[in-house]
Amino acid sequence: MEKLDKKYLWHPFTQMQDWEKEKQVIIESGKGCTLTDIHGKRYIDGVSSLWVTIHGHRKKEIDAAIAAQLKHIAHSTLLGLSNVPAIRLAEKLIKIAPKGLTKVFYSDSGSTSVEIALKIAFQYWQQKGTPYQKKTGFISLTEAYHGDTIGSVSVGGIPLFHTIYKPLLFQTYKIESPHCYRCKYGLSYPDCQNTCFVHAERTIQKYSSVTAALIIEPLVQGAAGMLMQPTGYLRKIRELCTKYNILMIADEVATGFGRTGKMFACEHERVAPDIMCVAKGITGGYLPLAATLTTEDIYAGFLGEYSEFKTFFHGHTYTGNPLACAAAIASIDLYQKENILAKIQPKITELAKGLKQFKALEHVGEIRQKGLMVGIELVKNRITKQPYPPVSKIGINVTAECRKRGLIIRPLGNVIVIMPPLSISLKELNRMLEILYAAIQEVTKHN
């Protein structure tokens, strides 16, 4: 199997030269929070199979919902037709979404949900007529990650992933990421008096007349290394978007569906965006599905006679796929049935308690946690915050050590990420931390 993998597959975000040289894990099955490889070795799924598996693997209610839907139909298009699971899911999404969002546009990945949000925002202002037609640009944060398609890369800001594509990207205006551990203004929280809020306002004010929307990952910039925004930041951004008349897009692709301890991260700051992107956990990690939610006002901006061509000319072949929607309905129903958001609170507390121990490790620079999203930044020198150079592959080496010990995680550069299924037991959670602690200790002792 490994030979065939190396012969035929090209893996995402992977240096294949290294991949070909090294021994790889090939997963064959999963149950709950455990993954099993083709040799029968078991691992804790410490990053929820890339941040998606909410209820663990082979959740019987989702298995059953997909099987039941298969007896009706696997796929039918939403272009010129509708289907039952797509309608039912849209109603459910609107019921759990922040107030004011009333319409659901489906797609199939986080990136496409963002692409759609950007196009909707752009077209909305174009159709509003003068003087709004100048509102064609976007504001986003440095270090942002919104996906890999060209539009979502344009609003991204991670140099390693995005710089090479620069000639292909549209121009965006950037706000410095509010990254307290490495504050761009050389200040420290809370004495900084939220200087980053002031800078954000300057940018928004400066470009508001030419900006369609601001896009932000609410509370946590995930792919940047789990960077946490200071309290009040998201709320401030909402206020500024309203004040300067630009649309606010909340990219809840990573933070949605309970990850931060509430259904959506926006709820922590009582924020209602104009457009919200969801994907990843929407189907409980079963099938590719995403949605872009908008307000009635935005939706109304696209209504008119056919000949006015205000239609949103966008749609992917698998938009609103009935199997994926059935999985999502079953997944969302479980939150109420199993009281998930209440049940994860003690896990979040236990995780915070366990993570405190990591401060004893010499190379742990900062531990960042929101709900069940965690980033542990490893540094060469804790006092100077000197980062490990990329050649040391510190994150990769720690995760390799974890694998030997029965834990699958995936780093973001020098940041070790853990994002277990919300269904993880306290015992599994503590075992995961034990393995991770030992792995960091082992790998950093010579570095």
Nearer to ligand PLP, 69 or 107 (CB): 107
Q: What does DSSP assign to residue 389?
A: P
What is the DSSP pairing of strand 290-295 with strand 275-278?
antiparallel
What does the alpha-carbon distance between residue 128 and residue 121 come to, in Å, rounded to a whole number? 11
Contact pick of 254, 367, 378, 436 for ligand PLP (by CB under 6 A): 254
Given the rule CB under 6 A, which of 197-205, 251-259, 322-330, 425-433 is the region that contacts ligand PLP? 251-259
Nearer to ligand PLP, 251 or 274 (CB): 251
Nearer to ligand PLP, 101 or 440 (CB): 101
Q: What does DSSP assign to residue 181?
A: G
Smallest distance from ligand PLP to CB 45, Å: 16
# of chain residues touching ligand PLP (CB under 6 A)? 14
What does the alpha-carbon distance between residue 146 and residue 250 come to, in Å, rounded to a whole number? 10
Where in 140-179 is the site for ligand PLP (CB under 6 A)? 145-147
Instruction: Name the percent of the chain in helix, strand, coil, to the closest 5.
Output: 45, 20, 40
Q: Which single residue is written with the structure tokens 């630009």?
A: 246
Smallest distance from ligand PLP to CB 115, Å: 9
Nearer to ligand PLP, 217 or 401 (CB): 217
What does the alpha-carbon distance between residue 266 and residue 5 come to, in Å, rounded to a whole number? 40
Binding mask 63-102 for ligand PLP (x = CB under 6 A): ----------------------------------------
Given the rule CB under 6 A, which of 246-254, 312-320, 354-362, 433-441 is the region that contacts ligand PLP? 246-254
Nearer to ligand PLP, 156 or 322 (CB): 156
Task: Record the tokens describing residue 47, joined without a space.
Answer: 């990053």
Nearer to ligand PLP, 156 or 261 (CB): 156
Nearer to ligand PLP, 224 or 398 (CB): 224
Q: What angle do CA 54, 357, 431 make, to 5 degrees?
A: 45
111 binds ligand PLP, rule: CB under 6 A = yes
Which of 286, 288, 290, 264 has its CA nearest to residue 278? Answer: 290
Question: What Cα–Cα distance (Å) separates residue 3 from each residue in 10, 23, 296, 426?
Answer: 13, 10, 53, 38
Smallest distance from ligand PLP to CB 144, Å: 8
251 binds ligand PLP, rule: CB under 6 A = yes
Residues 6+ apart with CB under 8 A from 67: none
Smallest distance from ligand PLP to CB 180, Å: 19
257 binds ligand PLP, rule: CB under 6 A = no
What does the alpha-carbon distance between residue 278 and residue 135 come to, in Å, rounded to a whole number? 25
Nearer to ligand PLP, 227 or 241 (CB): 227
Where in 215-234 is the site for ligand PLP (CB under 6 A)? 217, 222-223
What does the alpha-carbon distance between residue 238 and residue 260 come to, in Å, rounded to a whole number? 19
What is the DSSP pairing of strand 101-107 with strand 172-175?
unpaired
What does the alpha-carbon distance between residue 397 and residue 414 come to, in Å, rounded to a whole number? 10
Where does this chain bind ligand PLP (CB under 6 A)? 109-111, 114, 145-147, 217, 222-223, 251, 253-254, 279
